[in-house]
Amino acid sequence: MSLKLPCLLRSALVVATVALLAGCGFHLRQSAALPAGMKKIHLTVSGGGKLERDLTRALEGSGAVVVDKPSADSAELAVTSNTFRTDSLTVSGTARVTEYAVRYHVEFNAKAPDGTQIIPTQSVDMSREFSYDATNTIGTASQTEELQRSLIGDMVQSILFRLQAAGAHPALATPTPAAQ
């Protein structure tokens, strides 16, 4: 009789945990479902760097083949702007900056292999704020780098979500032929 109680309690805890996770909306992140025609992609990123590497990895994780050169059967994903900037937000009474914002701006568009627009040029802006400690200037550089890495990861997800939305709702994207 005493063995059944712990087993019953354990089963109840597992069922309660599963029900709680299902009820809160938690789901494991899956790869993005790319639009038709984007199984082979030529990616160009202004400035390259970590955004290009992470976006390539994410596209490949979604089942696309990223090619080095454009071809007649490859879609084109172009990131035309990829810039960071740091702005001061607040200044103390002693004229020292106490808060900064790291801002990230990206513009991109996507075209199908036949030249029709999958996603017209879109602009995405993200930012993170942090406090500045005048006694720890080395920490500020590492904070800025970590915020930039975080913003790049979020930007990759934002681009993939927009590609997925364009695939799920192609009528919302303006499918016009590309200018010659």
Strand order in the sheet with 117-131: 65-67, 40-45, 75-91, 97-111, 117-131
Identify whether the C-beta of residue 46 lies closer than 8 Å to the C-beta of residue 77.
no
Cα–Cα distance for residue pair 35/145, rounded to 1 Å: 33
Give the pTM.
0.73
pLDDT tens per residue across all 180 residues of the chain: 455 667 788 888 888 887 776 666 655 455 677 877 888 999 999 888 999 999 999 999 988 899 999 999 999 999 999 999 988 777 777 767 778 888 999 999 999 999 899 999 999 999 988 877 666 666 667 778 888 999 999 999 999 999 988 877 766 555 444 443
Q: Check residue 25 and report its DSSP letter.
A: T
Architecture of domain 33-168: 2-Layer Sandwich (3.30)
* 75 class by beta-carbon count within 10 Å (0-12 exposed, 13-18 middle, 19+ buried): buried
Calculated CA dihedral for residues 134, 138, 140, 145, nearest 10 degrees:
170
Q: What is the pLDDT of residue 129?
A: 85
Q: What is the pLDDT of residue 59?
A: 93
Q: What is the pLDDT of residue 36?
A: 76
Q: What is the pLDDT of residue 86?
A: 82
Q: Could you write out the DSSP letters of every residue in 160-174? A: HHHHHHHHH-TTTS-
Q: What is the pLDDT of residue 138?
A: 63
